[in-house]
Amino acid sequence: MRMIDLYIQEVTRRLPEKSREDIALELRSTIEDMLPDDYTEEEVKSVLEKMGNPAILASGYLDRPMHLIGPRYYDVYINLLKIILPIAGVISLISLIATTMFSYSGDEAALNIILDLAGHGIWEVLSTGIQVFFWLTVVFAIIERTDHKQSQTPLTACFKEWTPDDLNNIPYIPKEKAISKVEVFLGLLWTAIWASVYFNAASLLGVYEKGSNGLEFVTPTFNQEVLISYWPLVVIVIGLEIALDMYKLKTGHWNRKIAVLNTVMHVVSSVVFIIVISNNQLFNPTFVTYITDLFSLSGDFGNWFAGGAIFIFLLFAVIDIYQGYRKSSLQK
Protein backbone atom coordinates (compact mmCIF):
# COMPACT_ATOMS: atom_id res chain seq x y z
CA MET A 1 0.00 0.00 0.00
CA ARG A 2 1.42 3.33 -1.09
CA MET A 3 0.42 5.31 2.00
CA ILE A 4 2.26 2.96 4.33
CA ASP A 5 5.38 3.19 2.18
CA LEU A 6 5.19 6.96 2.16
CA TYR A 7 4.70 7.08 5.92
CA ILE A 8 7.70 4.83 6.56
CA GLN A 9 9.76 6.90 4.15
CA GLU A 10 8.75 10.08 5.97
CA VAL A 11 10.00 8.60 9.25
CA THR A 12 13.19 6.95 8.03
CA ARG A 13 14.46 9.86 5.95
CA ARG A 14 14.94 11.70 9.23
CA LEU A 15 17.01 8.86 10.73
CA PRO A 16 20.68 7.97 10.35
CA GLU A 17 21.40 5.72 7.36
CA LYS A 18 22.48 2.67 9.37
CA SER A 19 19.28 2.31 11.41
CA ARG A 20 16.84 3.07 8.58
CA GLU A 21 16.29 -0.42 7.24
CA ASP A 22 15.77 -2.04 10.61
CA ILE A 23 13.31 0.57 11.82
CA ALA A 24 11.47 0.55 8.49
CA LEU A 25 10.99 -3.21 8.76
CA GLU A 26 9.71 -2.99 12.32
CA LEU A 27 7.35 -0.13 11.51
CA ARG A 28 5.92 -2.01 8.56
CA SER A 29 5.31 -5.15 10.59
CA THR A 30 3.73 -3.10 13.38
CA ILE A 31 1.44 -1.20 11.03
CA GLU A 32 0.37 -4.42 9.37
CA ASP A 33 -0.27 -5.97 12.81
CA MET A 34 -2.67 -3.16 13.55
CA LEU A 35 -4.60 -3.65 10.31
CA PRO A 36 -7.11 -6.44 9.55
CA ASP A 37 -6.23 -8.89 6.77
CA ASP A 38 -8.30 -7.10 4.16
CA TYR A 39 -7.86 -3.47 4.87
CA THR A 40 -9.30 -0.39 3.21
CA GLU A 41 -7.66 2.98 2.73
CA GLU A 42 -9.79 4.41 5.55
CA GLU A 43 -8.41 1.81 7.95
CA VAL A 44 -4.85 2.60 6.90
CA LYS A 45 -5.51 6.26 7.55
CA SER A 46 -6.82 5.63 11.05
CA VAL A 47 -3.82 3.40 11.89
CA LEU A 48 -1.37 6.00 10.60
CA GLU A 49 -3.17 8.62 12.63
CA LYS A 50 -2.54 6.48 15.72
CA MET A 51 1.13 6.28 14.81
CA GLY A 52 1.22 10.07 14.78
CA ASN A 53 3.30 12.72 13.06
CA PRO A 54 6.32 11.08 11.35
CA ALA A 55 8.58 13.90 12.53
CA ILE A 56 7.70 13.23 16.17
CA LEU A 57 8.11 9.48 15.76
CA ALA A 58 11.50 10.00 14.10
CA SER A 59 12.67 12.40 16.80
CA GLY A 60 11.78 9.76 19.38
CA TYR A 61 14.25 7.41 17.70
CA LEU A 62 16.94 10.06 17.57
CA ASP A 63 18.93 11.05 20.62
CA ARG A 64 19.39 14.42 19.02
CA PRO A 65 17.46 17.18 20.80
CA MET A 66 14.59 18.92 19.04
CA HIS A 67 15.69 22.35 20.25
CA LEU A 68 18.63 24.54 19.32
CA ILE A 69 19.79 25.31 22.87
CA GLY A 70 18.30 23.37 25.76
CA PRO A 71 17.83 24.15 29.45
CA ARG A 72 21.33 22.95 30.33
CA TYR A 73 23.06 25.65 28.30
CA TYR A 74 20.42 28.35 27.95
CA ASP A 75 21.43 30.39 31.00
CA VAL A 76 25.15 30.37 30.13
CA TYR A 77 24.28 31.28 26.55
CA ILE A 78 22.15 34.28 27.53
CA ASN A 79 24.73 35.51 30.04
CA LEU A 80 27.57 35.29 27.52
CA LEU A 81 25.44 37.07 24.94
CA LYS A 82 24.82 39.90 27.41
CA ILE A 83 28.55 40.25 28.06
CA ILE A 84 29.86 39.85 24.52
CA LEU A 85 27.29 41.90 22.57
CA PRO A 86 28.06 45.29 24.18
CA ILE A 87 31.83 44.69 24.05
CA ALA A 88 31.70 43.77 20.36
CA GLY A 89 29.48 46.80 19.66
CA VAL A 90 31.86 49.20 21.41
CA ILE A 91 34.93 47.73 19.71
CA SER A 92 33.39 47.98 16.25
CA LEU A 93 32.32 51.56 16.98
CA ILE A 94 35.77 52.56 18.22
CA SER A 95 37.51 50.99 15.22
CA LEU A 96 35.08 52.78 12.89
CA ILE A 97 35.77 56.13 14.56
CA ALA A 98 39.52 55.51 14.42
CA THR A 99 39.49 54.66 10.69
CA THR A 100 37.36 57.70 9.93
CA MET A 101 39.68 59.99 11.88
CA PHE A 102 42.82 58.66 10.21
CA SER A 103 41.36 58.95 6.75
CA TYR A 104 40.01 62.48 7.35
CA SER A 105 41.50 64.73 4.70
CA GLY A 106 40.08 67.99 6.01
CA ASP A 107 38.11 68.78 2.85
CA GLU A 108 34.65 68.08 4.17
CA ALA A 109 32.69 69.95 6.82
CA ALA A 110 33.17 68.27 10.17
CA LEU A 111 29.45 68.08 10.87
CA ASN A 112 28.94 66.09 7.65
CA ILE A 113 31.61 63.65 8.78
CA ILE A 114 29.87 63.26 12.13
CA LEU A 115 26.45 62.66 10.55
CA ASP A 116 28.07 60.15 8.20
CA LEU A 117 29.79 58.49 11.14
CA ALA A 118 26.51 58.21 13.06
CA GLY A 119 24.84 56.48 10.11
CA HIS A 120 27.74 54.10 9.55
CA GLY A 121 28.03 53.56 13.29
CA ILE A 122 24.46 52.33 13.64
CA TRP A 123 24.90 50.02 10.67
CA GLU A 124 28.26 48.72 11.91
CA VAL A 125 27.00 48.03 15.44
CA LEU A 126 23.91 46.26 14.09
CA SER A 127 25.86 44.02 11.73
CA THR A 128 28.46 43.19 14.38
CA GLY A 129 25.64 42.35 16.78
CA ILE A 130 24.05 40.01 14.26
CA GLN A 131 27.41 38.34 13.58
CA VAL A 132 28.10 37.79 17.28
CA PHE A 133 24.58 36.51 17.87
CA PHE A 134 24.83 34.10 14.94
CA TRP A 135 28.22 32.60 15.78
CA LEU A 136 27.56 32.30 19.50
CA THR A 137 24.28 30.54 18.74
CA VAL A 138 26.01 28.19 16.29
CA VAL A 139 28.70 27.32 18.85
CA PHE A 140 26.12 26.59 21.54
CA ALA A 141 23.95 24.55 19.18
CA ILE A 142 27.02 22.40 18.43
CA ILE A 143 27.90 22.03 22.12
CA GLU A 144 24.28 21.00 22.81
CA ARG A 145 24.59 18.25 20.20
CA THR A 146 28.01 16.95 21.17
CA ASP A 147 27.41 16.80 24.93
CA HIS A 148 26.14 13.28 25.55
CA LYS A 149 25.87 13.54 29.32
CA GLN A 150 22.44 12.49 30.57
CA SER A 151 22.23 15.38 33.03
CA GLN A 152 19.87 18.21 32.19
CA THR A 153 20.92 20.37 35.14
CA PRO A 154 21.58 23.93 34.00
CA LEU A 155 25.19 25.07 34.08
CA THR A 156 26.64 28.22 35.61
CA ALA A 157 28.88 30.67 33.75
CA CYS A 158 31.99 28.54 34.41
CA PHE A 159 30.34 25.57 32.64
CA LYS A 160 29.99 23.72 35.95
CA GLU A 161 26.94 22.80 37.92
CA TRP A 162 25.88 25.20 40.65
CA THR A 163 27.10 24.84 44.21
CA PRO A 164 26.43 27.14 47.20
CA ASP A 165 30.12 28.20 47.02
CA ASP A 166 29.31 30.10 43.84
CA LEU A 167 27.51 32.65 46.00
CA ASN A 168 30.85 33.77 47.46
CA ASN A 169 31.87 35.10 44.04
CA ILE A 170 28.91 37.46 43.82
CA PRO A 171 29.28 40.83 45.53
CA TYR A 172 26.12 42.00 47.25
CA ILE A 173 25.24 45.41 45.85
CA PRO A 174 21.87 47.08 46.32
CA LYS A 175 20.54 48.28 43.00
CA GLU A 176 20.57 51.96 44.00
CA LYS A 177 24.24 51.91 44.97
CA ALA A 178 25.50 50.00 41.94
CA ILE A 179 27.56 51.69 39.26
CA SER A 180 26.57 50.06 36.01
CA LYS A 181 29.00 49.50 33.15
CA VAL A 182 26.67 51.56 30.98
CA GLU A 183 27.04 54.51 33.33
CA VAL A 184 30.85 54.31 33.15
CA PHE A 185 30.77 53.84 29.41
CA LEU A 186 28.52 56.87 28.92
CA GLY A 187 30.89 58.87 31.13
CA LEU A 188 33.88 57.90 28.98
CA LEU A 189 31.94 58.58 25.80
CA TRP A 190 31.00 62.03 27.08
CA THR A 191 34.66 62.78 27.89
CA ALA A 192 35.71 61.61 24.42
CA ILE A 193 33.05 63.75 22.74
CA TRP A 194 33.74 67.02 24.54
CA ALA A 195 37.52 66.52 24.32
CA SER A 196 37.40 66.00 20.56
CA VAL A 197 35.05 68.96 20.21
CA TYR A 198 37.48 71.09 22.22
CA PHE A 199 40.51 70.17 20.13
CA ASN A 200 38.63 70.49 16.84
CA ALA A 201 36.52 73.50 17.76
CA ALA A 202 37.97 75.53 14.90
CA SER A 203 36.46 73.19 12.32
CA LEU A 204 33.52 71.85 14.33
CA LEU A 205 31.77 74.53 16.35
CA GLY A 206 30.47 77.51 14.52
CA VAL A 207 27.93 78.64 12.02
CA TYR A 208 26.87 76.23 9.28
CA GLU A 209 24.98 77.28 6.21
CA LYS A 210 23.33 75.10 3.62
CA GLY A 211 25.56 75.09 0.55
CA SER A 212 25.84 73.16 -2.68
CA ASN A 213 27.91 70.44 -0.97
CA GLY A 214 25.62 69.80 1.96
CA LEU A 215 26.42 71.84 5.03
CA GLU A 216 29.24 74.36 4.74
CA PHE A 217 31.22 75.83 7.56
CA VAL A 218 30.99 79.63 7.63
CA THR A 219 32.69 80.91 10.73
CA PRO A 220 33.97 79.30 13.96
CA THR A 221 32.45 80.17 17.34
CA PHE A 222 35.68 80.51 19.27
CA ASN A 223 38.93 82.23 18.83
CA GLN A 224 40.90 79.06 18.42
CA GLU A 225 44.25 80.42 19.60
CA VAL A 226 42.75 81.65 22.86
CA LEU A 227 40.75 78.47 23.36
CA ILE A 228 43.63 76.11 22.71
CA SER A 229 46.00 78.03 24.98
CA TYR A 230 44.20 76.46 27.93
CA TRP A 231 45.11 72.95 26.81
CA PRO A 232 47.15 71.93 29.90
CA LEU A 233 44.16 72.65 32.16
CA VAL A 234 41.84 70.77 29.84
CA VAL A 235 44.15 67.77 29.73
CA ILE A 236 44.12 67.69 33.55
CA VAL A 237 40.30 67.60 33.52
CA ILE A 238 40.28 64.85 30.89
CA GLY A 239 42.74 62.85 32.97
CA LEU A 240 40.64 63.30 36.10
CA GLU A 241 37.43 62.22 34.37
CA ILE A 242 39.00 59.09 32.87
CA ALA A 243 40.69 58.18 36.17
CA LEU A 244 37.41 58.57 38.05
CA ASP A 245 35.52 56.47 35.49
CA MET A 246 38.13 53.72 35.70
CA TYR A 247 37.99 53.77 39.49
CA LYS A 248 34.18 53.59 39.37
CA LEU A 249 34.36 50.62 37.00
CA LYS A 250 36.79 48.82 39.31
CA THR A 251 34.82 49.47 42.52
CA GLY A 252 31.40 48.82 41.02
CA HIS A 253 29.38 50.71 43.65
CA TRP A 254 29.19 54.15 45.23
CA ASN A 255 31.10 54.75 48.44
CA ARG A 256 32.32 57.77 50.38
CA LYS A 257 35.70 57.81 48.59
CA ILE A 258 34.13 57.87 45.15
CA ALA A 259 31.71 60.61 46.21
CA VAL A 260 34.66 62.74 47.42
CA LEU A 261 36.67 62.10 44.24
CA ASN A 262 33.57 62.95 42.21
CA THR A 263 33.32 66.26 44.05
CA VAL A 264 37.01 67.04 43.45
CA MET A 265 36.60 66.26 39.76
CA HIS A 266 33.55 68.51 39.46
CA VAL A 267 35.16 71.39 41.37
CA VAL A 268 38.31 71.25 39.22
CA SER A 269 36.40 71.04 35.96
CA SER A 270 34.04 73.86 37.04
CA VAL A 271 36.98 76.11 37.89
CA VAL A 272 38.64 75.35 34.55
CA PHE A 273 35.35 75.92 32.70
CA ILE A 274 34.81 79.29 34.39
CA ILE A 275 38.40 80.39 33.70
CA VAL A 276 38.13 79.47 30.03
CA ILE A 277 34.68 80.86 29.30
CA SER A 278 35.10 84.15 31.17
CA ASN A 279 38.04 85.17 28.98
CA ASN A 280 36.59 88.02 26.89
CA GLN A 281 38.88 87.21 23.97
CA LEU A 282 37.42 83.72 23.72
CA PHE A 283 34.68 84.33 21.20
CA ASN A 284 35.46 84.94 17.57
CA PRO A 285 34.37 88.54 16.79
CA THR A 286 32.93 87.49 13.41
CA PHE A 287 30.76 84.89 15.14
CA VAL A 288 29.52 87.35 17.77
CA THR A 289 28.54 89.81 15.05
CA TYR A 290 26.84 87.07 13.06
CA ILE A 291 24.75 85.90 16.04
CA THR A 292 23.92 89.41 17.19
CA ASP A 293 22.66 90.23 13.68
CA LEU A 294 20.82 86.94 13.30
CA PHE A 295 18.76 87.23 16.48
CA SER A 296 18.93 91.04 16.53
CA LEU A 297 20.27 90.92 20.08
CA SER A 298 21.24 93.95 22.04
CA GLY A 299 23.94 94.06 24.67
CA ASP A 300 27.07 91.97 25.04
CA PHE A 301 26.37 88.52 23.63
CA GLY A 302 29.62 87.11 25.05
CA ASN A 303 28.80 87.98 28.65
CA TRP A 304 25.23 86.84 28.37
CA PHE A 305 26.26 83.49 26.87
CA ALA A 306 29.10 82.91 29.34
CA GLY A 307 26.84 83.63 32.31
CA GLY A 308 24.20 81.19 31.13
CA ALA A 309 26.76 78.49 30.38
CA ILE A 310 28.39 78.84 33.80
CA PHE A 311 25.01 78.63 35.51
CA ILE A 312 24.02 75.44 33.65
CA PHE A 313 27.46 73.88 34.14
CA LEU A 314 27.43 74.53 37.90
CA LEU A 315 23.85 73.32 38.23
CA PHE A 316 24.68 69.94 36.68
CA ALA A 317 27.87 69.66 38.73
CA VAL A 318 26.01 70.32 42.00
CA ILE A 319 23.28 67.82 41.11
CA ASP A 320 25.86 65.13 40.32
CA ILE A 321 27.86 65.82 43.50
CA TYR A 322 24.68 65.59 45.58
CA GLN A 323 23.66 62.30 43.87
CA GLY A 324 27.10 60.87 44.58
CA TYR A 325 26.83 61.56 48.32
CA ARG A 326 23.24 60.37 48.43
CA LYS A 327 24.07 57.05 46.77
CA SER A 328 27.19 56.50 48.85
CA SER A 329 25.33 57.02 52.13
CA LEU A 330 22.48 54.61 51.29
CA GLN A 331 22.23 51.84 53.84
CA LYS A 332 22.71 48.29 52.68
By CB under 8 A, name the binding residues for another protein.
23, 25-27, 29-30, 32-34, 50-53, 56-57, 60-61
- CA-based R_g, the chain, Å: 33
Residue 86 Cβ vs another protein, minimum distance, rounded to whole Å: 39
Residue 75 Cβ vs another protein, minimum distance, rounded to whole Å: 23
Residue 57 Cβ vs another protein, minimum distance, rounded to whole Å: 4
Residue 142 Cβ vs another protein, minimum distance, rounded to whole Å: 23
Please enumerate, as own/partner, the contacts of 260-265 that have beta carbons within 8 Å and a separation of 24 or more: 262/320, 262/321, 262/324, 263/321, 263/324, 263/325, 264/240, 265/237, 265/240, 265/241
- In the complex with another protein, which residue's Cβ is closer, 7 or 77? 7
- In the complex with another protein, which residue's Cβ is closer, 48 or 314? 48
Residue 24 Cβ vs another protein, minimum distance, rounded to whole Å: 12
Q: What are phi and psi of 210, to 5 degrees?
A: -70, 120
Residue 95 Cβ vs another protein, minimum distance, rounded to whole Å: 51
CA distance 159 to 153: 11
- In the complex with another protein, which residue's Cβ is closer, 145 or 326? 145
Residue 38 Cβ vs another protein, minimum distance, rounded to whole Å: 14
CA distance 141 to 135: 10
End-to-end CA distance of the chain: 75
- In the complex with another protein, which residue's Cβ is closer, 36 or 171? 36
Q: Where are the alpha helices (DSSP H) in the chain?
A: 2-12, 17-34, 41-51, 54-61, 71-102, 110-146, 181-199, 201-204, 224-228, 231-251, 256-277, 285-294, 301-328
- In the complex with another protein, which residue's Cβ is closer, 27 or 205? 27
Residue 124's SS3 state is helix
- In the complex with another protein, which residue's Cβ is closer, 57 or 80? 57
Residue 132 Cβ vs another protein, minimum distance, rounded to whole Å: 37
Residue 18 Cβ vs another protein, minimum distance, rounded to whole Å: 13
- In the complex with another protein, which residue's Cβ is closer, 152 or 168? 152
Q: Hey, how many other C-beta atoms are within 10 angstroms of the C-beta on 7?
A: 20
- In the complex with another protein, which residue's Cβ is closer, 47 or 234? 47
CA distance 320 to 323: 5
CA distance 292 to 305: 12
CA distance 20 to 14: 9
Residue 263's SS3 state is helix
CA distance 88 to 128: 7
- In the complex with another protein, which residue's Cβ is closer, 34 or 310? 34
CA distance 7 to 84: 45
